[in-house]
């Protein structure tokens, strides 16, 4: 779907937030500045997170423990998620991963959500969401 501006990306986050469950692993694809962190912000805000949502590019992993436990990762600087404690969160948290890689040993590809954000010239983004096998997401209206 087409996201004309940042508000639309936040709204798409709210749409996703309504279907994501603890234990879900979401790959967030798209170039630098595509809106991956913005989408995560939309997911968290929609579920009532009132605090800041920063890019985990330096800390690698941000854990939000509230009514909806969420782990937000940025693997850009890593070769795999090994050693950052992702295993411990896999069954309790919604796992949102920017620059995903090295996930095959932890979660089957068919069990992962795939989200792709593609910049559109001159403005806006195209969002493509592929749910895991056996899951669906209602159309965004």
Ligand X SMILES: Nc1ncnc2c1ncn2[C@@H]1O[C@H](COP(=O)(O)OP(=O)(O)O)[C@@H](O)[C@H]1O
Minimal distance, residue 22 CB to ligand X, in Å = 23
Q: Which residues share a beta bridge with 51?
A: none
Q: Compute φ and ψ for 128, nearest 5 degrees.
A: -125, 120
Q: Compute φ and ψ for 5, nearest 5 degrees.
A: -155, 180
Closer Cβ to ligand X, 59 or 133, answer by number: 59
Task: Verify binding: residue 55, Mg ion, rule CB under 5 A.
Answer: yes
In the list ligand X, Mg ion, none, the entry touching 65 (Cβ below 5 to 8 angstroms by class) is none
Residues 112-131 that bind ligand X (CB under 6 A): 123-125
Looking from the CA of 135 toward its CB, the CA atoms found within 13 Å total 19
Q: How many residues in total does the chain contain?
A: 141
Q: How far apart are CA 141 and CA 138, in angstroms?
A: 9
One residue of 24, 38, 60, 115 binding ligand X per CB under 6 A: 38
Encoded one letter per residue, x for contact with ligand X by CB under 6 A and - for no contact, window 79-118 reads -------------------x--------------------
**8 Å CB contact between 93 and 70:** yes
Closer Cβ to ligand X, 5 or 88, answer by number: 5
Residues 31-50 that bind Mg ion (CB under 5 A): 36-37
């Amino acid at each position: 779907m087409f996201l004309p501006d940042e508000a639309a990306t936040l709204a798409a986050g709210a749409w996703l937030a309504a279907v994501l469950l603890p234990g879900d692993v979401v790959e967030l694809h798209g170039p630098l500045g595509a809106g991956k962190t913005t989408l995560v912000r939309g997911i968290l805000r929609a579920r009532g997170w009132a605090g800041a949502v920063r890019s985990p590019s330096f800390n690698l992993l941000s854990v939000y423990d509230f009514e909806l436990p969420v782990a937000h990762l940025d693997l850009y600087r890593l070769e795999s998620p090994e050693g950052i404690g992702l295993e411990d969160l896999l069954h309790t948290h919604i796992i949102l991963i920017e620059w995903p890689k090295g996930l095959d040993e932890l979660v089957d590809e068919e069990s992962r959500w795939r989200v792709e954000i593609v910049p559109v010239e001159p403005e806006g983004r195209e969002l493509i969401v592929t749910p895991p096998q056996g899951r669906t997401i209602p159309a965004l209206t």
